[in-house]
Amino acid sequence: MPDLSIRKKGPVGHITLTRPKSLNALSHDMVLKIEAALKDWFEDDTIKCVMIDAENETAFCAGGDIVELYNQGMNQDYYSGQKYWRDEYRLNALMSRYPKPIIAFMNGIVMGGGVGISAHCSHRIVTEKTKIALPECGIGLVPDVGTTSLLTHAPGYLGEYLGLTGYRMNGADAIYCGFADWFAPSDTLAEIKKTLCESGEFADIERYFKKSSKSELSSIQSDISKVFSRGRLEDVMSDLAQSQADWAADAREKIERGSPLSCQVTFELIRQARDEPGIEEALKREFCFVSRAMKCGDFLEGVRAAVIDKDRNPQWRHASINDVTLTQIHSMLRTPEGGSLKL
The answer on pLDDT for 1 being more than 80 is no
CA 202 and chain centroid, separation? 24
Residue 205 near residue 196 (C-beta atoms within 8 A)? yes
The answer on pLDDT for 286 being more than 80 is yes
**What percentage of the chain reaches a pLDDT higher than 90?**
97
Q: Which amino acid appears at position 262 of this protein?
A: S
The answer on pLDDT for 338 being more than 90 is no
Give dist(CA 268, CA 264) in Å, integer: 6
**Model confidence pLDDT, tens digit, residues 88-98:** 999 999 999 99
pLDDT band at 205 (very low <50, low <70, confident <90, very high): very high
**Model confidence pLDDT, tens digit, residues 103-112:** 999 999 999 9
Question: What's the pLDDT at 204?
Answer: 97
Question: What's the pLDDT at 226?
Answer: 98
CA dihedral 182, 186, 187, 193 (to 10 degrees): 60
Give dist(CA 120, CA 102) in Å, integer: 9
Residue 93 near residue 117 (C-beta atoms within 8 A)? no
Question: What's the pLDDT at 337?
Answer: 84
pTM: 0.96
Which domains does the chain show, CATH number per domain? 4-331 (3.90.226.10)
The answer on pLDDT for 336 being more than 80 is yes
